[in-house]
Amino acid sequence: MKGVSKSVLAFLFLFGLILTACAPPEESSSEGANQGNKDHSDVTLTIATVNNPDMKSMQDLTSEFTDKTGIKVKYVVLPENELRKKVTEDVALGAGKFDIATIGTYDAPIWAKNKWLISLDDYFDKMSDEEKSNYDLDDIFAPIKNALSYNDHLYALPFYGESSMLYYNKDIMKAAGVSMPLHPTWQQVADAAVKIKEKTGKTGIVLRGLPGWGEMMAPLDTVINAFGGKWYDENWKAQLTNPQTEKAVQFYVDLLHKAGESGATSTGYTEALTLMSQGKAGMWYDATAGAGNLNDKDNSNIVGKVGYAYAPTADKKNTGWLYAWSLGIEKSSKHKAAAFKFLTWATSKDYVKLVGDKKGWVVAPPGTRKSTYENPDYKKAAPFADIVRDSLEHADYDHPTIDPVPYKGVQYVEIPEFSGLGTEVSQQIASAISGDKSVKSALAASQKLAEQAAEKGGYKK
C-alpha cells in the first residue's frame, strides 16, 4: 500500500468536495438497469488493480467474461502503494481514467461518503429474480459486506477477503527443533524465530518492513493492538508514545533485527510471499490470502510443508485483521452498467468455480463467500480453510484494541487522514528498522504527526 503526502491528500479531498458540488447527476438507476440488456461489444472497461496472484488469475480468466458479454477489459496493474495513489487521484479529480477501481474495506466507506463511487443497490434492485438468486448477495460474509457499505448502501463487491495468520515451514521448524501451537503468543513466535536463525541459518520470520499504511503498518498494527497499544484514546489524543505502543514497535523492530529477512524495508506482501514460497524462511505472519498461493504447486516450493496458526497474541487475544480487496465503480465512469456486469461476474459463485476448475481449488478466491467454505472440493484442497473462516467471522473490527477507542479498523484507523498518516509513520519506523534512528525517536516524531492529523481532521475536541 506508496502513500499520498498530506499536502496532496488535502488538495484531493478539497477538490473532491468541489467536484461533488459541481458534478452532473449520476445516471439514473433505471437507465443503468436498462443498459444491462444492451449490446456492449463497443465497450472497453479500464480496471486499476494490484499485481498479486489473485488479481493475476482474474486477468487470465477475463477472456471468459468478454466471450460471454462482448465487453472488453483493459487492466492497469500497479504495485499496491502506487495503486492507491493513482486511483485516489483519479476519483478525487473525477478524471475518469478508470471505470473500476480495486479498493479495500478502508477505502470504500470514505470514498462513498465523498461520492467518488456509485451505490450498487439500484443495480441489484433491477436484477431479475433469477439473476439475484444466482449471485446470492447473502452468501457474502456479513462483516466484509458491512465494511464495504456506507449508510446501509453497498458500494463495492469483495473479490477476496482476508484476516491474518501465521505460516510456518514444517521442515525448517523440525530442523530447528521447535514447534508452534495453534494459538501462539508473540513471545513464542519470537523465540522460535531466533532459534530457527541460530540452528539453520535461514530467516526465522518474514515480516513486512516496506513503508506504507497498508504494507508495513498492516501487520505492525495488529502487534500494537496485541500489546495493548493504540493510535488514539477516546478523546483523540495520540498514543504512539505510550508504553504499550512503544513496547510493541520495539518488539517488531527487534524481531526483524534478530531473526527477520535482510533488507526488510523493501519487503511488502508480494516480496514476503515469494520468500516464504521459495522455502527461504521458517515463518511468515501476514494475510490469510497467502495460504492458497503457498499451496499452489505452480508457484510454491513448499506445497505440503506448510503449517498454520492463528494470528499471534499478547495481552489482547483476538488480533486477526479484516480486509477485502474489492471492486467498485467510479462515479466518473461512462460505462457503469457494463462495469456492474463485470463486478457481478468477478465476485460470483460461478467465478469461484471457474477459478477452482481452471486454476485449482486451492487458489480459488478466499474469504468472501460462505459457500466456498462449504464446498467439498475447496475444503479438500485447503487445509487452512477452517482457520481462515473462523478468523474472518471473529475479527474484532469494531473493537480493535484492549481499551475503548473512537475508531474502527484492526490494521488501520478508519479516517481519511490515515492513508497519509499511516504512511508517514511507517517511514519513521522504517528508519528504526534500518538503524538510522531509535524506535523512541521514530515514535516521538510519529506522535506529532498523529496529533496534527487529529487536529486537522477536527476529531480532537
Best mean pLDDT range from 17-21, 40-44, 50-54, 449-453:
449-453
pLDDT at 39: 62
Kindly state whether residue 461 falls inside one of the protein's structural domains: no
C-alpha cell read off for 140: 457474502
pLDDT number for residue 122: 94
Mean pLDDT of all residues in the chain? 90
- Picking from 360, 393, 426, the residue at the C-terminal end of a domain is 393
Residues 6+ positions from 93 with CB-CB distance below 8 Å: 12, 15, 16, 19
Q: Does residue 116 share a domain with residue 213?
A: no
User: What pLDDT is recorded for position 95?
Assistant: 83
Report pLDDT for 92. Answer: 81
Domain count, the chain: 2
- Cell numbers found for residue 11: 488538495
Residues 171-174: contacts with CB under 8 Å, at least 24 apart:
171/279, 171/302, 171/305, 172/196, 172/200, 172/202, 172/279, 172/281, 172/282, 173/282, 173/307
Residue 426 has pLDDT above 90, yes or no: yes
pLDDT tier, 117 (very low <50, low <70, confident <90, very high otherwise): very high
* 267's grid cell: 519487503
Specify whether 144 is located in the same domain as 203: no
Pairing status of strand 44-50 against strand 306-310 = unpaired
Residue 244, in any domain of the structure: yes
The pLDDT tens digits for 267-311 are 999 999 999 999 999 999 999 999 999 999 988 999 999 999 999
Full strand arrangement of the beta sheet holding 203-206: 203-206, 281-287, 164-169, 306-310
Instruction: Let me know whether 254 and 147 are in one domain.
Output: no
Is the pLDDT at 149 greater than 80? The verdict is yes
Sequence-ordered list of residues with C-beta below 8 angstroms from that of 428, at least 6 positions apart, any chain: 437, 442, 443, 445, 446, 449
Residue 139 per-residue DSSP state: G
CA 110 from centre of chain: 15
In this structure, the answer to whether residues 377 and 427 fall within a common structural domain is: no
Locus of grid cell 502513500: 3
Give domain status of residue 117, yes or no: yes
Rounded to 5 degrees, φ, ψ at 313 are -125, 170
317 and 418 fall within a common domain: yes
Shared domain check, 199 and 289: yes
Q: How far is CA 76 from CA 12, 55, 87, 100, 159, in A?
A: 21, 11, 10, 10, 17
As to burial, measured by CB atoms within 10 angstroms (0-12 exposed, 13-18 middle, 19+ buried), residue 280 is middle
Task: Report whether pLDDT(449) > 60.
Answer: yes
- pLDDT of amino acid 87: 83
- Taking the C-alpha atoms of residue 268 and residue 2, their distance in angstroms, rounded to an integer, is 11
pLDDT of residue 38: 57
Q: What is the pLDDT of residues 33-54, one digit of tens each?
A: 334 445 676 899 999 998 878 8
Task: Give the tens place of pLDDT for each residue, 169-220.
Answer: 999 999 999 999 999 999 999 999 999 999 999 999 999 999 999 999 999 9
Tell me the per-residue pLDDT of 363-376, one tens digit each, with 9 for 90 and over: 999 999 999 999 99
Q: Are residues 193 and 223 in the same domain?
A: yes
Are 169 and 223 contained in the same domain? yes
In a domain, 103, yes or no: yes
Per-residue pLDDT, 20: 39
Q: How far apart are CA 461 and CA 456, in angstroms?
A: 11
Q: Do β-strands 281-287 and 164-169 pair in parallel, antiparallel, or remain unpaired?
A: antiparallel
Asked, for residue 402, whether it belongs to a domain, the answer is no
Q: Which residues lie below 8 Å from residue 421, measured CB to CB, with a gap of 6+? A: 6, 213, 413, 449, 450, 453
Supply the pLDDT for residue 259.
98
The whole domain housing 315 covers 164-321+408-456
Q: How far apart are CA 274 and CA 282, in angstroms?
A: 13
Q: Is pLDDT above 80 for 28?
A: no
Q: What is the CATH number of the domain that holds 415?
A: 3.40.190.10
Question: Within this chain, do residues 195 and 74 fall inside the same structural domain, yes or no?
Answer: no
Q: Which of 361, 393, 425 is the last residue of a domain?
A: 393
Q: Verify that 418 and 290 share a domain, yes or no.
A: yes
The tens digit of pLDDT for each residue in 373-405 reads: 999 999 999 999 999 999 999 999 999 999 999
Indicate the pLDDT class of residue 112, thresholds 50, 70 and 90: very high
CA distance readout (Å), 449 to 241, 243, 454: 12, 18, 9
User: Packing angle between helix 418-433 and helix 80-93, nearest 10 degrees?
Assistant: 160
Is 430 a domain residue?
A: yes
CA 194 vs CA 177, 199, 379: distances in Å: 12, 9, 33
Residue 32 has pLDDT above 70, yes or no: no
Q: Is the domain of 288 the same as that of 365?
A: no
In-domain check, residue 266 = yes
Residues 306-359 pLDDT 10s = 999 999 999 999 999 999 999 999 999 999 999 999 999 999 999 999 999 999
Collect all residues with Cβ–Cβ distance below 8 Å to 401 and sequence separation of at least 6.
225, 228, 229, 230, 316
Read off the amino acid at residue 20: T
Decide which of 341, 360, 393 is a domain's last residue: 393
Residue 136 DSSP symbol: -
pLDDT of 106: 94
Q: Same domain, yes or no, for 182 and 267?
A: yes
Give the type of residue at 398. Answer: D
- 369 part of a folded domain: yes
